[in-house]
């Protein structure tokens, strides 16, 4: 007959160990029941039975909570990498998709669990060798991966969250600007670079006499200044403005076409390709998807001459507009393009011959292609070495 192990706890409550598991005694069950105002006392094996009944139900409900791409059998044996980031319908969703593609190139299977809700967190499927936190750290996922990487956006990382960097093994930065900032707060910071979706439609030739501003949901694109300038210049070509209805103005100048309704992606892509000049004088960017997407479409991108925007666009492959003032924004900065400087830049583009703008757009496209290859190579090398 096997020996029964007895485990004692100082105090009035004690229990028994059976095969390494604690089994409440009748006395313990009675005391617990009294504390919970339950009558009659719970049976001695109540908690064990509850565990074996309830937990399988919880785990079954978690089935399918973790999303991963449909992959052939050989891919299913890859090491898993969690991508942890909130879904905002715009930039962060693009980030997750691009990181997943890069992980596949590095030989890892990407798993994107929903951050909210206990189901995914409890699911054994939502566990990986490594975890990539997008923008901010998700501390409650600490025990779900062996190594943790952060891909931050400095202008959206509050100082109050600096303590969460303690659980991060390595910080991978999209820009040299971000790398310089985070190196003050973490010992393992690496410049990774980044890329954006290739939006080019080869069959569509950009019209370099047409101007485009994609504000979307953001309030940091300097849209008000652009509209002010267009109001002052009724002789300028029509500006197409795409903006979420929650942020769109009630009225616009007569030479502005406002699209404040939902646009299917195909329609938006068509606008990006048919307009040859994209106005992108953002106050701040974590990366700048709408800038890089403009360059992928062979458009001339007009950006604020401040980091990280001027890491993407330099004279010769776009137009930079000097900033006249700045103020802190979390760990980053807001940079305000000068009104007069932006006005001159737009007027120069209105007057410039189409061939000159076409050359600038072609250089932007060349940079996009080279940067995408360089990012994927750096990402693969960094993950292979650090993970």
If we measure between CA atoms, which residue out of 152, 212, 234 comes closest to residue 185? 152
Q: How confident is the model at residue 387 (pLDDT cuts 50, 70, 90)?
A: confident
What pLDDT is attached to residue 115?
77
Share of the chain above pLDDT 70, in %: 79
Tokens representing 237? 């070509």
Q: Is 50 exceeded by the pLDDT of residue 61?
A: no
Quickly count: other Cβ atoms within 10 Å of residue 301's Cβ.
27
CATH of 67-191, one of 2.30.30, 1.20.1510, 3.30.70, 3.40.50: 3.40.50
| All structural domains of the chain with their residue ranges | 67-191, 207-373
Q: What is the pLDDT of residues 126-143, one digit of tens each?
A: 889 999 999 999 999 999
Three-state secondary structure call for residue 237: coil
What pLDDT is attached to residue 4?
35
Q: Is 90 exceeded by the pLDDT of residue 123?
A: no
- Rounded Cα–Cα distance for residues 298 and 358 (Å): 8
Whether the domain at 67-191 and the domain at 207-373 fall into the same CATH topology: yes
Tokens representing 139? 């501390």
- Rounded Cα–Cα distance for residues 387 and 374 (Å): 19
- Rounded Cα–Cα distance for residues 179 and 331 (Å): 11
Q: What is the pLDDT of residues 178-227, one digit of tens each?
A: 999 999 999 999 999 999 999 999 999 999 999 999 999 999 999 999 99
What pLDDT is attached to residue 125?
74
Q: What is the pLDDT of residues 270-311, one digit of tens each?
A: 999 999 999 999 999 999 999 999 999 999 999 999 999 999
Q: Which residues pair with 371 in a beta bridge?
A: none
- Rounded Cα–Cα distance for residues 330 and 319 (Å): 27
Task: List Cβ<8 Å contacts ≥24 apart for 207-210.
Answer: 207/274, 207/275, 207/276, 208/276, 208/277, 208/300, 208/354, 208/357, 208/358, 208/361, 209/237, 209/276, 209/354, 210/237, 210/238, 210/240, 210/274, 210/275, 210/276, 210/277
Q: Which residues pair with 319 in a beta bridge?
A: 302
Name the phi and psi angles at 23, rounded to 5. Answer: -115, 115
Q: Is 50 exceeded by the pLDDT of residue 14?
A: no
Q: Is 80 exceeded by the pLDDT of residue 12?
A: no
Contacts of 88 (CB under 8 A, 6+ apart): 217
Q: What's the sign of the alpha-carbon dihedral 268, 272, 275, 277?
A: positive
Q: Is 70 exceeded by the pLDDT of residue 68?
A: no
When the pLDDT of each residue in the chain is averaged and rounded to a whole number, the result is 86
Q: Which residues pair with 240 in a beta bridge?
A: 212, 257
The CATH number given to 207-373 is: 3.40.50.2000
Specify the pTM. Answer: 0.81
What pLDDT is attached to residue 117?
67
Contacts of 61 (CB under 8 A, 6+ apart): 119
């Amino acid at each position: 007959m096997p020996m029964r192990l007895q485990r004692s706890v100082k105090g009035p409550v004690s229990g028994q160990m059976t095969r390494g598991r604690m089994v409440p005694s009748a006395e313990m069950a009675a005391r617990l029941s009294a504390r919970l105002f339950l009558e009659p006392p719970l049976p001695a094996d109540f908690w064990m039975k509850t565990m074996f009944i309830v937990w399988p139900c919880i785990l079954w409900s978690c089935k399918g909570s973790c999303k991963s791409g449909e992959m052939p059998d050989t891919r299913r044996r890859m090491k898993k990498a969690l991508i942890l980031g909130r879904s905002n319908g715009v930039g962060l969703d693009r980030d997750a998709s691009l990181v997943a593609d890069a992980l596949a190139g590095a030989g890892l299977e990407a798993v994107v669990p929903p951050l909210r809700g206990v189901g995914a967190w409890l699911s054994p499927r939502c566990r990986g060798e490594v975890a990539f936190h997008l923008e901010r750290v998700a501390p409650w996922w600490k025990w779900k991966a062996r190594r943790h990487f952060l891909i931050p956006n400095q202008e959206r990382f509050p100082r109050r969250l600096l303590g969460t960097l303690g659980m991060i093994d390595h910080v991978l930065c999209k820009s040299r600007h971000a790398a310089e900032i985070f190196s003050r707060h973490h010992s393992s910071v690496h410049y990774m670079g980044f890329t954006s979706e290739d939006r080019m439609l080869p069959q569509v030739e950009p019209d370099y006499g047409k101007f485009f501003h994609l504000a979307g949901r953001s309030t940091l694109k300097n849209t008000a200044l652009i509209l002010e300038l267009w109001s002052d210049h009724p002789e300028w070509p029509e500006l197409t403005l795409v903006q979420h209805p929650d942020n769109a103005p009630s009225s616009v100048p007569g030479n502005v076409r406002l699209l404040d309704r939902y646009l299917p992606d195909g329609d938006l892509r068509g606008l990006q390709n048919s307009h040859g000049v994209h106005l992108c004088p953002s106050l701040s960017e974590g990366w700048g998807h709408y800038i890089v997407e403009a360059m992928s479409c062979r458009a001339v991108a007009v950006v604020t001459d401040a980091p990280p925007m001027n890491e993407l666009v330099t004279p010769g492959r776009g137009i930079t507009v000097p900033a006249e003032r700045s103020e802190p924004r979390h760990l980053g900065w807001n940079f305000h393009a000068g009104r007069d400087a932006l006005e001159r830049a737009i007027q120069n583009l209105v007057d410039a011959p189409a061939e000159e703008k076409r050359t600038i757009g072609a250089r932007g496209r060349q940079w996009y292609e080279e940067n995408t290859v360089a990012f994927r190579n750096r990402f693969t090398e960094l993950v292979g070495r650090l993970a």
